[in-house]
Amino acid sequence: MGRPARLTLVGAAGRMGRRLDALAAEDERLDVTGRVDAGGPGLDALDPGSVDCVVDFSVQAQARATCAFCADHGVPLVMGTTGLEEDDRAAIREVGARAPVVWAPNYSVGVNALFALAGELATMMGEGFDLELVEAHHRHKVDAPSGTARRLVEILADARGTTYGDAAVCGREGLVGARSDEEIGVSVVRGGDVVGEHTVHFAGPAERLELTHKAGGREIFAAGAVRAAQWTAARPPGLYSMRDVLGV
């Protein structure tokens, strides 16, 4: 076995950062050598040559700085932060031109299976079934709908030949009229300590099918992100998804 992969965690003091740290400590193939959080020294204080992969689970406002560090120095990146703007997404794509970057709104294996099944079912069930999505998260979550919900809607919309921007209807209130065939409704629940739940409803005239994933703990995301960080080693530059990491 070669030397352990040297990880730098961005958002190291956060809920995800601490889990990643704990998981890496149990894995002899990984070594967390850099920890960046608000108020402390930034990524620029690090020697890029000593970083094998940056894993960012922090805040939207930090995403571009993380991408700039990785793009400038060709350092692999696992981006977990959600609530990103189009400029942030463009910055992630720029990293992909210089280094391998894994970008997933959700690093759990089960959710990535849900992504695969949701698209297949949308195609299989065809027109005549209304697509709706309900997501629930803990009371501290700052962005809505969740990155996972957005990705699910993108997948469903793609299966219907449309886009998130054209199809998503986030929340309904008042006299909104009957739903259209094309829209994909998104409803958001926030409260308590819910780690993350996503249900896709395929609602037809006399039958309804529901596909649900419930996350029991944040370790499922940390485990997937660690797997992604290991996977980036010796990978050519490019933008990769968790499906690439899982080989599905």
Residues annotated catalytic, as ranges: 137, 141
16 or 157: whose CB is closer to ligand NAD? 16
On whether the CB atoms of residues 54 and 63 are closer than 8 A, the answer is no
Binding mask 179-218 toward ligand NAD (x if CB under 6 A, else -) reads: ----------------------------------------
Residue 80 in the binding site for ligand NAD (CB under 6 A): yes
| Measured torsion, CA atoms of residues 120, 124, 127, 130, in degrees rounded to the nearest 10 | -60
- Cα 96 to Cα 36, 39, 219, 238, 239, distances in angstroms: 22, 28, 26, 4, 5
Q: Which stretch binds ligand NAD (CB under 6 A): 22-30, 105-113, 182-190, 200-208?
A: 105-113
62 or 230: whose CB is closer to ligand NAD? 62
Residue 16 in the binding site for ligand NAD (CB under 6 A): yes
157 φ, ψ to 5°? -65, -40
Binding mask 155-184 toward ligand NAD (x if CB under 6 A, else -) reads: ------------------------------
Helix (H, G, I), strand (E, B) or coil at 209: strand
Residue 106 in the binding site for ligand NAD (CB under 6 A): yes
Residue 231 in the binding site for ligand NAD (CB under 6 A): no
Q: Which stretch binds ligand NAD (CB under 6 A): 13-21, 124-132, 159-167, 198-206?
A: 13-21
84 or 159: whose CB is closer to ligand NAD? 84
Order of strands across the sheet with 100-103? Answer: 30-36, 5-10, 53-56, 77-79, 100-103, 238-240
Of 23, 69, 24, 28, nearest to 46 (Cα)? 69
On whether the CB atoms of residues 30 and 24 are closer than 8 A, the answer is yes
On whether the CB atoms of residues 152 and 121 are closer than 8 A, the answer is no
Residue 82 in the binding site for ligand NAD (CB under 6 A): yes
Residue 24 tokens read as 């890496």
Residue 83 in the binding site for ligand NAD (CB under 6 A): yes
- Number of shown-chain residues binding ligand NAD (CB under 6 A): 23
Residue 51 in the binding site for ligand NAD (CB under 6 A): no
Least separation in angstroms between residue 11's CB and ligand NAD is 3
On whether the CB atoms of residues 28 and 36 are closer than 8 A, the answer is no
Residue 100 in the binding site for ligand NAD (CB under 6 A): no
Residue 246 in the binding site for ligand NAD (CB under 6 A): no
On whether the CB atoms of residues 187 and 171 are closer than 8 A, the answer is yes
**Residue whose token pair is 């080693």:** 233
Residue 37 in the binding site for ligand NAD (CB under 6 A): yes
The residue ranges that bind ligand NAD (CB under 6 A) are 10-11, 13-17, 36-38, 57-59, 62, 80-83, 104-107, 221
